[in-house]
Each structure stands twice: as C-alpha cells, then as structure tokens.
Structure 1
Amino acid sequence: MAREFSRTDRVGHQIHKEVASILQNEFKNRDPRLGMTTVSGVEVSRDLSYAKVFVTFFENDKEKIAEYIEILNENKGFIRTLLSKAMRMRAVPALRFLQDASITEGMRISNLVSETLSSDRERAKAAGRDLDDESTQD
C-alpha cells in the first residue's frame, strides 16, 4: 500500500528542491556575497501561505551567518518569483529564511557525550576498573 503524504508535505518537499536549485544556480550570480548555502528543511503552514526555509552554511562565524540570512531575506521576493515559475501553484507561499541550528546543536551534544565517556573511562582507570569489560558483560 502506498504511503500517504499530506499536501503540505508534498509542497514543502517541492519548495525544498526548487529553492535549493535556485540558490545553487540562479541566485549565486545575483549576489556573490552569499557563501555556500544548503537548504536543510522547509516547513509549510497548513494554509500554504507561508514557508519557513531552514538553511545551513559552510561557515561558523555567527556574524557571517546573520549576514547571509539577512541577504536571503532581503532577496526573498526574487527567490519567490523564480519559485513561482518553477512550481505549478496558484499562490506560492511567502518565504522566510532561518538558520538551521540542529546540525550545530547535534555536533555540540555529540561532543559532550564523547567528553563524558572519556572522563568516565579515566575515572574508572583511576579506580582500577575497566568500563569496556563491564559494558560487554550485559
């Protein structure tokens, strides 16, 4: 049986694909200040009038990222016009670009877990136990 997807999911997926293509091809020539941009997700409102476009950048400087987000939001009308030509919809949702912090947050949490594990191993060694042997006995 085929999986069912809601209209908002389908529209969100299509917007994701088209905006990524627009940013990679057409927009790069319009504003060269923008660094390498990746569309990581799109959330569309239930009435299809608004779309939040989550983007990530190959940049760690918070000021640069804020500048890139500002550039995208200043040019969202142009991007929406190109999007309307690529999609067959009566009304294309209004776009709002936001930084996707989930990747950075995931890396931060992963680093915290790694640090905790290494400190636990050091404590266990100091106490004369081996954590690796205890975990394999379960």
Structure 2
Amino acid sequence: MADPARARKLAVRIRQIVSTAIESQIKDPRLGMVTVTDARVTSDLREATVFYTVYGDPTQVEDSARALASATGVLRSTVGRQTGIKFVPTLTFVADIVPDTARELDEALERVRSADAELARLREHASYAGDADPYRRPADDETGDADETDVDATPATEHRSAS
C-alpha cells in the first residue's frame, strides 16, 4: 500500500499535466472549454479519476466527454512521460457536478432571501390576531393564598403519629 501523501502529490501532478495537455496537445474539435477541477488517485496508485467541468450547454458537455474518452490514451502516455513513475495509473474522466450544485444552491438562497424580504414587508403593518401576549398569567387574587393555607391546615396530631 502506498503512502497517502504520495497519492495526493501524484493526483496534483496528474491534474496539472492533464490540464496542460488538454490545452496544448488535444486538437479534437468536439472538445469545448474544459476545466480540470480535481484529480484523485487510489492508494495503490493504479487508478486516477480526473474531474472536469465544461462551460456550455449539455450537447457541448457530451461532446467534450466523448473527446476526453478518445484522448485518454494520449493523456495517459503524457502523464507517464512527465511523471516518470513505473506504472502509469489508468485515467477515468468524470464530469464534476459541484459547480452545478453550487449554482442551484445560490438560486435557492436567492429565492429564500426574496421570500424573507417579502415577509418582512408584510410584517411591517401587521397586528396581532389576538392579544399581544397569548400566554396565560396567574391571577393575583386570594385564591393563591387559599392553597397555601390548605397545606398548613393539616392537624398536628397526624404529624406526630407519622413521626
């Protein structure tokens, strides 16, 4: 089993090599504006997963995926030449969904902010449907004192016999 630090260093190096090779070596017309976002290498250094994003519509994403799949051999040989390791890991390209998820979260947060602003605007001139304080408060009358006298009214003989 390899050192995890070595796997991380190799992943960073693979990310750099693949992104540079996509820019300079791969001339496939299907390849759109691809950005390599991350790379991960298994602990045995046999497989590498390269995450990428594509700027454009879904057809450009699919075309870029096909172009990367066809260029995998060229990219793997480039990684092998530039890293100089004995066994070059197999490359697997995976479309990164993090930017899409971040965009969806931003849109959801914006909807929530606008709903909060609308609620605050409606709340400015609102009044209570009932009393301002809906909780019951104990009455300040003599009934509270009667409960205390009932406890003290216990005959003294009962206390002595229980002792």
- If asked which structure has higher relative contact order (CA below 8 Å, sep 6+), I would say 1
Of 83, 93, 98, which residue of structure 1 is paired with 2:94?
98
Please name the residue that 2:147 is paired with: none
Please name the residue that 1:38 is paired with: 35
SS at match of 2:113: helix
Matched, 1:75 2:71: yes
Please name the residue that 2:58 is paired with: 62
- Counterpart Cα distance in 2 of 1:76 and 1:91: 16
Amino acid at match of 2:105: I
Of 105, 110, 123, which residue of structure 2 is paired with 1:127?
123
Instruction: Give the share of equivalent positions with the same residue, in percent.
Output: 25
Which TM-score applies when normalising by structure 1? 0.83
Contact 2:54 2:60 in 1 (8 A): no
Aligned residues: 122
Of 39, 49, 54, which residue of structure 2 is paired with 1:52?
49
CA deviations over 1:20-55 (Å, ceiling 9, x no partner): 10001111x2x1221111100001111111111001
CA deviations over 1:80-116 (Å, ceiling 9, x no partner): 1121111121111100101011011111101101110
- Counterpart Cα distance in 2 of 1:64 and 1:36: 9
Please name the residue that 2:10 is paired with: 11
SS at match of 2:38: strand
Matched, 1:85 2:81: yes
SS at match of 2:88: coil
RMSD over aligned Cα, in angstroms?
1.4
Q: Which runs of 4+ in 1 moved over 2 A?
A: none
- Counterpart Cα distance in 1 of 2:110 and 2:7: 38
